[in-house]
Structure 1
C-alpha cells in the first residue's frame, strides 16, 4: 500500500514513512488545496534543515514556529493558527504517546477506538477523523477490526470521497467531482 498524491515525490515519500508528517498534513488539510496541505510537512523539513520529531515541535518557541509557517510561501493560509495547532498536536503526542504519532492508531484495539483516539487530536472533528482513519486503512494497511465501519462513508472500498481515495490523477478528479456535487447539494438545500 502506498500514498500517491499529486505532490512532489519527496513529499509523498515523507508522508509514506513518517506518521508525524502524515498527521501534520492531515491537520493542515482545511481551507487550502490538499496538495498544499500534504506538501507542507516536506516544506517544513526543508525549512528546518532536518526532520523534526514531536518533542522538538512541542518544545519549539511558538513565535519562531509561526515565523517558519509564515515564511513565503506560507505553509498554510492561516500560518499562526496552524503552527499553534501543529504544536498542540505535538504536545499531545509527547504527553500521551511518548511522541510517537503511529501509537495513536497502532495501539487501538478496534476501529471505533482508533477513531476516538484520532478525534481527540487538535483540529480533528468526527468527519476529519473518519477521513484520516480511511486514509490509514486504505493507503497504509492500518486495519483494526471495524475500521471501515468507524470510518463511515469514507471507509467504503469503492468510494471517491476524500484524500483516502486518491491513487492517481483519475481518482483525484473523481474525488474533486464528488466534493463539488456535495457543495452544490448543500448550497441548494440552503437556498
Structure 2
C-alpha cells in the first residue's frame, strides 16, 4: 500500500507493508510532528538490524536497552524512554492477544464498532487515537467492516482533512496542519474570557 505519512520513501514503504509499523507509528504520533512519529518504526527497525518490526522481539527486549535504542541521536521521540515502554507494552499486548500479528486486530472485525473496541483496548490508544487509526485503515488500506465510517466519527468523513487518515502527500498534509491550527485557535479563543 502506498502511504505518505512519514514523507520519507523508506519509512513510508515500511508503513505500507507492515501492520505493526503502522500501529507503532500511530502510537508515537503525539507531541511531535506527524512525520517524525511515522518515521519512528523505520528507525527502530533499522537500529535493531532489520527491515521490519517483530512484536515478539520488541516485547522481549530489555526495557533499558530498548529505551537506549530509541534515545540514540536522533531520538525516535521527544520522550524516548516513556515511548519505548509504550511500544513494548503494545507489542506485548499483541503477543498476548493476537499471537504477535498486528493485522489480526482488524482482519476479522465484523463491524466498525467491534474494530473501534479492539483498537481502544490497545495500550496507548485512547478513543480519539483509535478513531483516527480506524479512519486510516478504512481510507488508506481498504479495511472497511460495516459501519466503519460511523465508528470513526468525524475522522471517517469523506473529503475531510482532519488527521493522518487524510494524508496522501504534501498538499493534503498542509491541509491537515491548517485544520489542526484552526482547531487550536478556536480552543484558545473559547478559553479566553
> Do the aligned partners of 2:6 and 2:36 also contact (CA within 8 Å) in 1?
no
Matches of 1:6 and 1:23, distance apart in 2:
13
> Do the aligned partners of 1:66 and 1:83 also contact (CA within 8 Å) in 2?
yes
1:33-48 counterparts in 2 under 5 A?
33-48=33-48
Shift of 1:73: 0.8
TM-score (norm 2): 0.97
Matches of 1:6 and 1:103, distance apart in 2:
24
Matches of 1:169 and 1:17, distance apart in 2:
21
> Do the aligned partners of 1:115 and 1:151 also contact (CA within 8 Å) in 2?
yes
1:47-66 counterparts in 2 under 5 A?
47-50=47-50, 51-66=52-67
Q: How many residues align?
A: 191
Q: Secondary structure at the match of 1:151?
A: helix
Q: Which residue number corresponds to residue 3 of structure 2? A: 3
Task: Determine whether 1:157 maps to 2:144.
Answer: no
> Do the aligned partners of 1:55 and 1:99 also contact (CA within 8 Å) in 2?
yes
User: Could you give the per-residue CA deviations for residues 85-137 of structure 1, whole angstroms, max 9, x where no partner exists?
Assistant: 00000000000000000011112110000011001111111111000000000
> Do the aligned partners of 1:66 and 1:80 also contact (CA within 8 Å) in 2?
yes
Structure 1 residue runs of 4 or more that deviate by more than 3 Å after TM superposition: none
Task: Determine whether 1:88 maps to 2:127.
Answer: no
> Do the aligned partners of 2:166 and 2:172 also contact (CA within 8 Å) in 1?
yes
Structure 1 unmatched ranges of 5 or more: none
Structure 2 unmatched ranges of 5 or more: none
Matches of 2:6 and 2:75, distance apart in 1:
19
Return 149-158 or 5-14, whichever deviates more. Answer: 5-14
Q: Which residue number corresponds to residue 107 of structure 2? A: 106
> Do the aligned partners of 1:37 and 1:76 also contact (CA within 8 Å) in 2?
yes
> For the aligned residues, what is the CA RMSD?
0.9
